[in-house]
């Protein structure tokens, strides 16, 4: 929706545009006060909402590939014919508009009735699907099962008190105080009952009996399954130091954790963030937005060097310093006595609030006890199937054969978890779809988004196009001349093109 002061952009498509005025792939216009994007694909022209249904990214700045369009911000992908959100992180369809041709003019006047997503027909079997986990992968799987017209039962068991939330927001706008809490739920509360998803919150699964095909809840109750999806995610590593159990010392994974940090931050003057990880630094940025003095203590000499390389690491450090963050690198906190955090190097920092962001561990205990094959993650095949054929795994816990890096990898990325949840859902219905999505993550520091496609645990060359300091760059991580991963700042189309090139290389 355009804001009231500024007129909607581009031509009024209801008045028609000459075909000769639409020479490129996309043309942004409007119908009434709604922004509509015309997209050319081969000989056809489609008209869809101009903004992504995830965070309203401008699709006109995205990439068209055949009959699909990809969002420049977090790489959601929409089908142009049906509007369906084909790939996470978007779940809601785009509206699709009728395109009428009259002579050499195109008119867009009316939205089409939302077509049903293309599915293979109603599916009744397996009749009982149980999902352990109410996070990214668990939610995406449940939503996709119903989108596929699966009519059997879905029980979703989540240890959290809140229904699935937009977890990445917990270290960004919500923590910074820039997003209201009602932005966080992935779907409104009544979605689950309406979709026939039996979501049981605050429910801990104690064990899995893979032979008898049931999960046992901590309260002793059993829930039977025909197919089981494990999506138990990861848990933050706790620091084994004196004072880490005080109420103003926090980890961050759940909405409750985030609310507790916000409560401690209220009236705080100085925060100590332990760990210069992605989450640690996003928390630092959000606490600076609350005008709290922030000290980041990290073992590494350069933040994010292991993932992004030295140049990006230096940039990230300088960016945070510009915003007033004070770094204590090559150092750690050895104890927290009340509001005093003692540094290993000597000295101490005042710490009205402490956030520990020193990494996460995949939650593998259920799988290990059930005898599933585990190797620094639950081992799954290309179909996300574990060593037990009725049990699938997705998200932060899954180590899968990634065709792009040609390695078995496990990552901790929101979009990967959601896309694996979607693929696992289809595979639990028997579709045999290999999971071959290119890994993608984003991170946000102040006004600077960093997008990353691919996966490079090590590289022998970094190729920088543009200028990192000027926040305009494409950084390629190469091994033996092959591009394994690409990080970018404000080079969204190039990032999407890199993703597409990696997909095509494997296809
Ligand atoms: C603050 C924060 C910010 C982040 N920002 C980004 C970002 O910007 N970009 C990005 O790519 N990634 C980001 N991530 C990482 C991303 O959120 C994870 O990769 C993603 O959530 C993994 O999804 P998942 O479904 O595997 O696990 P989760 O989302 O963690 O969900 C796991 C679920 O399993 C439940 N569970 C676990 N064990 C049991 C049990 N025994 N019984 C019942 N339920 C159980 C948990 O309660 C939880 O509901 C962020 C993570 C955090 C914490
Ligand atoms: S805004 Fe489009 S994917 Fe996030």
Q: What is the pLDDT of residues 335-353, one digit of tens each?
A: 999 999 999 999 999 999 9
- How high is the pLDDT of residue 120? 66
Name the band, by pLDDT with cuts 50, 70 and 90, for residue 48: very high
Q: What is each CA distance from 143 to 1, 7, 33, 116, 194, in whole angstroms?
A: 26, 36, 31, 14, 12
Q: What is each CA distance from 310 to 249, 250, 279, 307, in whole angstroms?
A: 30, 29, 19, 9
Q: What is the mean pLDDT of residues 80-102?
A: 96
Angstrom distance (rounded) from CA 43 to CA 285: 47
Regarding the beta carbon of 392 and ligand 2, being less than 6 Å apart is answered no
Strands 44-49 and 105-111: what pairing?
unpaired
Angstrom distance (rounded) from CA 375 to CA 408: 10
C-alpha of residue 163 to centroid of ligand 1, in Å: 12
pLDDT tens sequence across 404-454: 999 999 999 999 999 999 999 999 999 999 999 999 999 999 999 999 999
> For residue 164, is pLDDT > 60?
yes
Angstrom distance (rounded) from CA 159 to CA 402: 29
Regarding the beta carbon of 418 and ligand 1, being less than 6 Å apart is answered no
The number of the ligand nearest the C-alpha atom of 363 reads 1
C-alpha of residue 272 to centroid of ligand 2, in Å: 31
Regarding the beta carbon of 363 and ligand 1, being less than 6 Å apart is answered yes
Name the band, by pLDDT with cuts 50, 70 and 90, for residue 1: very low
Please identify, by atom number, the ligand 1 atom nearest to the C-alpha of residue 440.
Answer: 11
C-alpha of residue 141 to centroid of ligand 1, in Å: 14
Angstrom distance (rounded) from CA 475 to CA 468: 9
Regarding the beta carbon of 22 and ligand 2, being less than 6 Å apart is answered no
Regarding the beta carbon of 277 and ligand 1, being less than 6 Å apart is answered no
The number of the ligand nearest the C-alpha atom of 394 reads 1
Q: What is the mean pLDDT of residues 23-27?
A: 93
Name the band, by pLDDT with cuts 50, 70 and 90, for residue 4: low
CB 106 within 8 A of CB 13: yes
Tell me whether the omega of the peptide bond preceding residue 409 falls within 30 degrees of 0, making it cis: no
pLDDT tens sequence across 182-195: 999 999 999 999 99
pLDDT tens sequence across 273-331: 999 999 999 999 999 999 999 999 999 999 999 999 999 999 999 999 999 999 999 99
73: Cβ contacts below 8 Å, ≥ 6 apart: 52, 54, 55, 57, 442, 449, 492
Percent of the chain at pLDDT exceeding 90: 93
Regarding the beta carbon of 71 and ligand 2, being less than 6 Å apart is answered yes
- How high is the pLDDT of residue 416? 98
Strands 105-111 and 197-200: what pairing?
unpaired
Regarding the beta carbon of 54 and ligand 2, being less than 6 Å apart is answered yes
Confidence (pTM):
0.97
Please identify, by atom number, the ligand 2 atom nearest to the C-alpha of residue 59.
Answer: 2
pLDDT tens sequence across 183-235: 999 999 999 999 999 999 999 999 999 999 999 999 999 999 999 999 999 99
Measured by CA distance, the residue closest to atom 4 of ligand 2 is: 74
pLDDT tens sequence across 142-157: 999 999 999 999 999 9
């Amino acid at each position: 929706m355009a804001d009231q002061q500024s007129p909607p952009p581009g031509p009024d498509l209801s008045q028609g545009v000459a075909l000769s005025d639409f020479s490129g792939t996309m043309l942004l216009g409007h119908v009434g006060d709604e922004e509509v994007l015309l997209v050319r694909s081969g000989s056809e022209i489609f008209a869809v909402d101009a903004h992504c249904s995830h965070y309203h990214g401008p699709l006109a700045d995205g990439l068209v590939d055949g009959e699909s369009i990809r969002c420049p911000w977090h790489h959601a992908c929409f089908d142009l014919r049906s509007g369906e959100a084909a790939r996470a992180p978007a779940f809601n369809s785009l509206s699709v508009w009728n395109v009428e041709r009259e002579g050499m003019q195109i008119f867009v006047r009316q939205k089409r009735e939302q077509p049903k997503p293309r599915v293979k027909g109603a599916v009744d079997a397996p009749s009982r699907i149980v999902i352990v986990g109410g996070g990214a992968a668990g939610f995406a799987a449940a939503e996709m099962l119903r989108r596929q017209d699966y009519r059997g039962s879905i029980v979703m068991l989540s240890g959290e008190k809140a229904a699935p939330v937009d977890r990445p927001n917990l270290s960004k706008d919500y923590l910074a105080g820039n997003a209201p809490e009602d932005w966080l739920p992935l779907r409104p509360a009544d979605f689950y009952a309406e979709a026939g998803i039996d979501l049981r919150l605050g429910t801990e699964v104690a064990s899995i009996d893979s032979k008898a095909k049931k999960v046992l809840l901590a309260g002793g109750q059993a829930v039977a399954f025909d197919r089981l999806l494990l999506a138990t995610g990861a848990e933050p590593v706790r620091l084994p130091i004196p004072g880490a159990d005080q109420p103003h010392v926090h980890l961050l994974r759940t909405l409750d954790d985030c609310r507790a940090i916000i409560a401690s931050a209220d009236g705080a003057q100085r925060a100590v963030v332990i760990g210069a990880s992605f989450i640690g630094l996003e928390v630092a940025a959000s606490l600076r937005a609350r005008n709290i003095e922030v000290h980041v203590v990290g073992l590494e000499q350069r933040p994010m060097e292991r993932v992004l390389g030295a140049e990006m690491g230096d940039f990230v450090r300088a960016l945070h310093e510009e915003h007033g963050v004070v770094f204590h690198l090559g150092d750690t906190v050895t104890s927290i006595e009340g509001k005093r955090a003692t540094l290993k190097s000597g000295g101490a920092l005042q710490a009205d609030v402490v956030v520990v962001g020193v990494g996460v561990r995949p939650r593998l205990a259920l799988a290990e006890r059930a005898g599933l094959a585990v190797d620094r993650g639950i081992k799954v095949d290309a179909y996300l199937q574990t060593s037990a054929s009725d049990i699938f795994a997705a998200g932060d816990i899954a180590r899968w054969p990634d065709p792009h890096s040609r390695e078995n990898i496990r990552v901790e990325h929101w979009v990967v978890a959601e896309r694996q949840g979607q693929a696992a859902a289809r595979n639990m219905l028997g579709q045999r779809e290999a999971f071959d999505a290119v890994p993608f993550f984003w991170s946000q520091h102040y006004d600077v988004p960093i997008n990353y496609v691919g996966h490079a645990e090590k590289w022998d060359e970094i190729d920088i196009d543009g200028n990192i300091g000027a926040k305009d760059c494409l950084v390629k991580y190469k091994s033996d001349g092959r591009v394994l991963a690409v990080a970018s700042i404000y080079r969204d189309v190039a990032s999407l093109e890199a993703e597409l090139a990696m997909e095509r290389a494997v296809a």
